[in-house]
């Protein structure tokens, strides 16, 4: 153990010896795109690193699409966007086989799920049938069409959005399917300073309009795969594991919670915590990491009655003593 307070070994960037651009380059790239949302960006990256999917629950115009695009560009991946409407069919998402008259064979036309980053806008507006097709693809990371499995991209990452207002004619996502998302985020409006910067960024001189180019992200898809593997190897101390189990059990026995955290949710929570620790430059998870990601992880999978999910999460987090330094 090294107790150097001023030069903790733990702050040493991970993977710097392997000439792989570390995760901070992706972070700074995204921060340059979405202003004033540092914490949300970190959570999105943690979600990406833990191979989870992201549910954005937000008002229009807060930068959901911008974020999705930026992520796709940040990892040099292919972006696909689906606007979920009631008439969207499963095949519109997964792809379909079409008979080719010339070759007299069925040809597979891959759908948007075969992209690296899929933005499913207003997922709660499409029919449950289509929803479940997407959610199945998310869980299995492959789609089966005409009895033939088609594997999806290894870094397949779904950003689904939900519009909390205007719920008329919407099909709310079933709880079981919500569990397939790793975290639920609310980007929210930027603060005053960020808004000022956003507005100033848009004001350009005539010359600049042509020459302005976005900064290039140094991260490639294979780098991301490497980082994802590295995130998985972040150590979890047995006491932290116990702490998580305590929290999960507390969520199951809470009075106001109808549906607690499932084992799948628990695994997801740990993966996000690992990625979070990695983002902080550590190779082990601390209880603070677990607590910091608790709200986005739990808000997607707790079903409460009588009070809001946030109150229930607060109570659960406050009821379990965090492991202390020993």
Partner 1 sequence: MSTWSRRRVETIVLSVVALSSVIPHRFFVESRGLFLAEAACLCIAFVVAEFSRRFVDRSTRAKRVADIAAVTLALIPFVFAVASRTIGRPIAFEIATLTVFGCVSLAMAIGATTHRIGSLALIISGFLVLFSASISDSSYAVVFPVIWMLGCVWHLIANHWERLDLAMPESVQRSWSLRPSVVIVTLLVLVVAGYAMKDRITSSKRLTAGLMPTSGGSEWSDPSARSGVGSGDAAVAAKDRAESFGAVDSDIFLESTESSLFDMFNDTIGEPKQKNKKQERAQAMGPENFIQSHARNAKSEQGGGSFSTDRLPPKKHHHFKDATDASVVQWDGPTGIRLAMQRYDTFDGHDWNQSADLSNEKLARVPMADAVWFFDPFLRGVLQRNPDAASVGLLKVIRLDAQRLPVPMLTAGVHIKEIDRQDFFGIAEDGSFFMPGREKVPPLTVVHVASVVLMEDEIHEKLVVAPAKDFPENGSLVREEEALRNVFEGTLTSPTASAIQELVQSAIANHTNPVDQLNACVEELRTRFVFDREGESSATSLDEFLRSRRGGDHLFATTAALMARQIGLSSRLVTGFYVRPDAFDLSAGHASVLPQDVHVWAEIRLNDGRWFEIEPTPGYMQPHYQPSWSLAARRFAVATWPLMSVGMLTLLVAWFTRRLWIDCLLTAVWSLGRWLRPRRRIRLAIGIIEARARLAGHRRPTGKSQRAWLEQLTRTNAKIATAARNFSDAAMSCFSVMATHRRAKRQPNWSLFYASTPSPP
Residues 35 and 194: beta-carbon distance below 8 Å? yes
The answer to whether 52 contacts partner 1 (rule: CB under 8 A) is no
In the chain, DSSP finds a helix count (H) and a strand count (E) of: 14, 13
The answer to whether 167 contacts partner 1 (rule: CB under 8 A) is no
Of the listed pieces 19-27, 49-57, 89-97, 285-293, which binds partner 1 according to CB under 8 A? Answer: 285-293
Instruction: Single out the residue of 100, 106, 95 nearest to residue 151, CA to CA.
Output: 95
Count Cβ atoms within 10 A of the Cβ of residue 187 and give its class: 0-12 exposed, 13-18 middle, 19 or more buried: buried
Residues 27 and 209: beta-carbon distance below 8 Å? no
Of the listed pieces 68-76, 125-133, 236-244, 261-269, which binds partner 1 according to CB under 8 A? Answer: 236-244
Residues 129 and 90: beta-carbon distance below 8 Å? yes
Of the listed pieces 65-73, 145-153, 171-179, 249-257, which binds partner 1 according to CB under 8 A? Answer: 249-257
Count interface residues toward partner 1 (CB under 8 A): 40
Out of 145, 240, 300, 309, which residue is the one contacting partner 1 (CB under 8 A)?
Answer: 240
Out of 48, 62, 292, 295, which residue is the one contacting partner 1 (CB under 8 A)?
Answer: 292
Pick 79 or 236: Cβ nearer partner 1? 236
Pick 6 or 168: Cβ nearer partner 1? 6
The answer to whether 108 contacts partner 1 (rule: CB under 8 A) is no
Least distance in angstroms from the C-beta of 222 to partner 1: 28
Expressed in percent and rounded to 5, the helix, strand and coil fractions of the chain are 45, 15, 35
- Measured CA distances, 233 to 30, 50, 262 (Å): 24, 11, 22
Residues 82 and 112: beta-carbon distance below 8 Å? yes
The answer to whether 308 contacts partner 1 (rule: CB under 8 A) is no
Q: What residue ranges bind partner 1 (CB under 8 A)?
A: 1-6, 8, 10-11, 235-237, 239-240, 253, 255-256, 282-288, 291-292, 306-307, 315-326
């Amino acid at each position: 153990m090294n107790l150097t307070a001023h030069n903790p070994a733990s702050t040493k960037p991970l993977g710097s010896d392997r000439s792989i651009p570390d995760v901070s380059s992706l972070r700074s790239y995204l921060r340059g795109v979405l202003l004033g949302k540092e914490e949300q960006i970190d959570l999105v990256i943690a979600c990406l690193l833990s191979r989870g999917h992201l549910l954005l629950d937000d008002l229009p115009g807060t930068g959901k699409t911008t974020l999705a695009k930026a992520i796709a560009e940040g990892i040099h991946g292919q972006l696909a966007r689906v606007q979920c409407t009631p008439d969207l069919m499963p095949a519109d998402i997964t792809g379909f086989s079409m008979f080719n008259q010339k070759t007299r064979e069925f040809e597979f036309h891959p759908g948007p799920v075969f992209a690296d980053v899929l933005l499913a806008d207003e997922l709660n507006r499409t029919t449950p049938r289509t929803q479940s097709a997407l959610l199945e693809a998310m869980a299995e990371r492959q789609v089966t069409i005409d009895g033939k499995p088609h594997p999806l991209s290894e870094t397949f990452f779904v950003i689904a959005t939900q519009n909390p207002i205007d719920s008329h004619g919407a099909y709310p996502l079933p709880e079981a399917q919500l569990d397939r998302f790793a975290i639920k985020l609310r980007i929210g409006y930027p603060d005053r300073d960020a808004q000022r910067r956003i507005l100033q960024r848009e004001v350009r001189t005539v010359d600049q309009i042509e020459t302005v180019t976005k900064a290039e992200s140094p991260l490639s898809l294979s780098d991301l795969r490497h980082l994802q593997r590295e995130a998985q190897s972040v150590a979890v101390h047995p006491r932290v594991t116990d702490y998580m189990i305590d929290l999960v059990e507390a969520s199951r026995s809470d009075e106001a919670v109808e549906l607690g955290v499932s084992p799948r949710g628990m695994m997801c929570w740990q993966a996000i915590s690992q990625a979070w620790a990695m983002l902080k430059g550590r190779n082990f998870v601390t209880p603070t990491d677990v607590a910091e990601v608790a709200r986005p992880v739990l808000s997607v999978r707790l079903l409460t009655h009588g009070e809001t999910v946030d109150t229930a999460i607060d109570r659960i987090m406050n009821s379990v003593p965090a492991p202390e330094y020993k």
